[in-house]
Amino acid sequence: MRGLFLFLKFSLVGAAAIGIRDSPDQCPGYNAINIIEHDNSLTADLVLAGDACDLYGSDLLNLKLLVEYQTDNRLHVIIHDADEEVYQVPESVLPRPGSKTPGSHRDNPTIRFDYQPQPFSFRVLRGDQVLFDTANTNIVFENQFLHLRTWLPDNPNIYGLGEHSDSLRLPTTSYTRTLWSRDAYGIPSNTNLYGNHPIYVDHRGHAGTHGVFFLNSNGMDIKIDKLYDGRQFLEYNTLGGVIDLYFLAGPTPKDVSMQYAEIVGLPAMQSYWAFGFHQCRYGYRDVFEVAEVVYNYSRAHIPLETMWTDIDYMGSRRVFTLDPLRFPLEKMTELVNYLHKHNQHYIVMVDPAISDIDNEAYNRGRVRNVFLSRDENDIYEGAVWPGVTVYPDWFNPETQPWWNNEFERFFNKSYGVDIDGLWIDMNEASNFCAWPCKDPFDYAQNNNLPPIPPPVRPAPRPLPGFPNDFQPQSSQHGKRSSSLRPRDTKGQKIGLPGRDLIAPQYQIANAAGSLSNKTIDTDIVHFGKGYTEYDTHNLYGTMMSSASREAMLQRRPQTRPLVITRSTFAGAGAHVGHWLGDNRSQWDQYRISISQMLQFASIFQIPMVGSDICGFGGNTTEELCARWTTLGAFNPFYRNHNEIQNIPQEFYRWPTVAEAARKILDIRYRLLDYLYTSFHRQSETGEPFLQPLFYIYPSDKNTFANEAQFFYGDALLISPVQDVGETFVNAYFPSDIFYDWYTGQMIRGEGKTITLRNIGITQIPIHIRGGFVLPLRSKGAATTSELRRRGFEIVVAPDRDGYARGKLYLDDGESIHPANSSMVEFEYGDGQLRIRGEFGYHEAVLVESVTLLGQRKRKGVMGVRHGNSSDHDVSFDADRQVLKKQVHIELTAPTVINF
């Protein structure tokens, strides 16, 4: 029996938390009393059902239960303390949805609540199917520990619970997903990473799909495992907060994603140019080298939309400063003006940590008391890139106007760096000084931060288009100031009484060690309402991101701001996009980037996402970079970026990579309106754009664990080469019709794997799914501005029944509230392509051709009626089974094309 008891104890709590204590199953749970059922809800009191367990804190004796039927497909269950003193995620960070039509949902809900009062347990059901079940388990609700378990089907298909770099379909035994933001260089597997998204999707094939969102920002371990008797379970073990659950009925994976968006917010729409290609590198030595990279892309005939600069541009790596020798203001202004003149864009990085050495931004913030502090005379200090730093308190109402003002000053078009977007790093928040960081000044002085590189020598050749004086001048850097003296630590506020905010008894499996290690001390109390960093740590990155979006809107109120951030929490996608962090130039990370991208885009509702193409850390190879270049073109956010001590990896550095870039950027740019239309749909409805195969084929078991392929929108199946030296892909084709992008060849999918061979290093397999109409630009371009002047080719890919459909969204490409827009609908069937919809935005280009795939013989003469159009040549390729007609159609009125 003792062996069994120890096994149960290990299954139920983290190894780091196991001692001589009992397991949660030994705790008494709660009884439900005073149960009242309303039209649209249920309330009850929960009282401790026995002697306090005090497993990892103090049991709360009295709780409240609220069950809300918020929509036919969404159920809200919250269990909180009776006095409502326990921390909950602030509405200011994540506003809560309410009932859409009160009083109607309990009549015939898709999803419903069932319970057992003594001891209290509950189930959530969809029809007769049990989706969530706490029976025969005990809820533990303590001041520093929550425990809740639900039973799962055998070998379940569980997805989500990020951020992680594990498999898309999560392991089902001995798996722990820890949520606690940390600076996770190299994005290792099976550890907590930068962001926190406690939602999971449970996919049950023919039986349907549902989702569970646990709205809690405290550190937690979420475990998926089996008991000794084989029963499968998922359990939450958190360091505090309340049990706040949203159940999403589905029944399809897409439905779950859309229902989740109703809770956390629809994704922010991006500007058209944001989907172009972006280039960055940590280690550009000065503004002249940045200019040379811009020139080299142009010379290599590789489209470059946006140039980025890492912390290199800063004076001694202090935010809101320029290095006066390497990145002088007058040269930065010339660079930005050059980019804008050529319809290109410029973005720089901003970190949250503010140096308090010779820094006007710090001085202005100090006056407004915007930095985290232990009291008004004791500002909290850490150590990051510039040395000793302080951190903005995003809960302080003075912080937003201070942040806005710093953006207005530094990113001013008249006197400053006129950026077009923003890049946020280090906002977990990162702190190089390990806990306990008693003397950040001493740490900064005695630890080797990467050196600032010397200015580059004069460019070896002229840079066409740049002024004649755009050449570096010889200079030497002065010594960095070290005038800051360390401050003594004074008293602290601990928030709720009796809590250990530094070392709670339950220890989550934080890969960084203790909660405060390499981050802000968790006993810091925020301004105003007294939120502690212990409770709100996981919100810091998202709060900085939304504040930065607001600051960007202050600069350009009518323009969609592109903000890319590293640390995220649920709901961040309503404000910003995300890059997947500091990955490595390795094949395994190339592969796992697919799973990571799909998690954010399809589950977490942050569709503006992508990895550092070719890898950030370590030296890439020509083959890996070429393959990643082609894969990266199907990331919504497409950026090449790598690290200072590694070889440069701009696409023009290798012949095959340059060729791959030219080929795939031509394809990406031709598809850009398809991407833009699909992204707009997600911003309006939450319907995901990037999708795993099981989102499209939810009943096909062969798709459930497939993370090597994905759908780019509903119409394009992408099947990347998987490993070094390979020129083939074992691609799975569900039972459907597909057309090869390059040849037009039809493939009749039979639910089997097909080996695609002879895939050159500059290629990636792309297949069009039957049943769709694709609006393509007639050819690519050097910039998205130029691309918008290209005409359209409409590609029709009929399904088995000869039917196809598609949409094209058009607007000015950047306004938050466009004055005019068009939603053009294409429908093909019975030998006709019908073009109709709303034609509010008049694109000054024409539909120049229509291509019909899957044609075994040439059809008769095609005609066009309605609209301003004319007929031209018709061509038929018997080998490719492609029929193409040149047309002249304005997208201003309904049109019918007869085949």
Q: Which fold has domain 25-264?
A: Immunoglobulin-like (2.60.40)
Range in 125-134, 490-499, 544-553, 665-674 the model is least confident about: 490-499
pLDDT tens readout for residues 151-174: 999 999 999 999 999 999 999 999
Is the pLDDT at 472 greater than 90, yes or no? no
Radius of gyration of the chain (CA): 28
Per-residue confidence (pLDDT) for residue 419, from 0 to 100? 98
Place of tokens 């001048």: 473
- Cα–Cα nearest to 29, from 132, 118, 152: 118
Report which secondary-structure segment, H or E, holds 677: helix 672-685
Share of the chain above pLDDT 90, in %: 84
pLDDT bracket for residue 865 (50, 70, 90): low
Per-residue confidence (pLDDT) for residue 100, from 0 to 100? 64
Is the pLDDT at 555 greater than 50, yes or no? yes
Q: Where are the domains of the chain?
A: 25-264, 770-898
**Mean pLDDT along residues 801-824:** 98
Query: Dihedral of CA 809/811/813/819: which sign?
Result: negative
- Cα–Cα nearest to 729, from 611, 631, 614, 598: 631
Range in 48-52, 376-380, 747-751, 870-874 the model is least confident about: 870-874
- Which entry of 255, 420, 425, 814 is annotated as an active-site residue? 425
Chosen CATH of 770-898 out of 3.30.590.20, 3.90.190.10, 2.60.40.1180, 1.10.3720.10: 2.60.40.1180
Active site includes 666? no
Contact yes or no for 151/231 (Cβ under 8 A): yes
**Mean pLDDT along residues 639-645:** 96
Is the pLDDT at 508 greater than 60, yes or no? yes
pLDDT bracket for residue 483 (50, 70, 90): very low
Per-residue confidence (pLDDT) for residue 753, from 0 to 100? 98
Per-residue confidence (pLDDT) for residue 109, from 0 to 100? 86
Report which secondary-structure segment, H or E, holds 358: none
**Mean pLDDT along residues 318-335:** 96
- Which entry of 292, 356, 428, 843 is annotated as an active-site residue? 428
pLDDT bracket for residue 106 (50, 70, 90): low
**What pTM does this model have?**
0.93
Is the pLDDT at 15 greater than 90, yes or no? no
Contact yes or no for 639/579 (Cβ under 8 A): yes
- Which entry of 244, 255, 305, 582 is annotated as an active-site residue? 582
The pairing of strands 277-279 and 638-640 is parallel
Active site includes 582? yes
pLDDT bracket for residue 455 (50, 70, 90): low
pLDDT tens readout for residues 721-743: 999 999 999 999 999 999 999 99
**Mean pLDDT along residues 633-658:** 97
Is the pLDDT at 193 greater than 90, yes or no? yes
Is the pLDDT at 103 greater than 60, yes or no? no
Tokens of 36: 């009242």
**Mean pLDDT along residues 326-353:** 97
Mean pLDDT of the chain: 91
Per-residue confidence (pLDDT) for residue 414, from 0 to 100? 81
Contact yes or no for 624/724 (Cβ under 8 A): yes
| DSSP β-bridge partners for residue 655 | none
pLDDT tens readout for residues 838-855: 999 998 899 999 999 999
Is the pLDDT at 547 greater than 50, yes or no? yes
Tokens of 527: 């301004």
- Cα–Cα nearest to 459, from 446, 472, 448: 472
- Cα–Cα nearest to 184, from 169, 202, 164, 167: 164
Per-residue confidence (pLDDT) for residue 496, from 0 to 100? 60
Per-residue confidence (pLDDT) for residue 831, from 0 to 100? 92
Tokens of 383: 């150590």
Active site includes 428? yes
Report which secondary-structure segment, H or E, holds 409: helix 399-410
Read off the amino acid at residue 635.
N
pLDDT bracket for residue 99 (50, 70, 90): low
Tokens of 499: 């809590």
Is the pLDDT at 627 greater than 70, yes or no? yes
Tokens of 66: 């609220």
Range in 200-209, 493-502, 576-585 the model is least confident about: 493-502
Range in 254-263, 277-286, 470-479 the model is least confident about: 470-479
Q: 751-766 b/e with 16+ CB inside 10 Å = b?
A: eeeeebeebebbbbbb
**Mean pLDDT along residues 330-340:** 97
Per-residue confidence (pLDDT) for residue 477, from 0 to 100? 32
pLDDT tens readout for residues 220-235: 999 999 999 999 999 9
Number of H helices, E strands in the chain: 15, 48
Per-residue confidence (pLDDT) for residue 17, from 0 to 100? 39
Per-residue confidence (pLDDT) for residue 438, from 0 to 100? 83
Per-residue confidence (pLDDT) for residue 620, from 0 to 100? 98
Per-residue confidence (pLDDT) for residue 479, from 0 to 100? 30
Per-residue confidence (pLDDT) for residue 12, from 0 to 100? 39
Per-residue confidence (pLDDT) for residue 478, from 0 to 100? 31
Tokens of 555: 């600069």
Per-residue confidence (pLDDT) for residue 704, from 0 to 100? 98
Per-residue confidence (pLDDT) for residue 454, from 0 to 100? 66
Share of the chain above pLDDT 70, in %: 90
pLDDT tens readout for residues 340-360: 999 999 999 999 999 988 889
Tell me how far apart the terminal alpha carbons of the chain are, to the nearest angstrom.
Answer: 77
**Mean pLDDT along residues 389-413:** 96
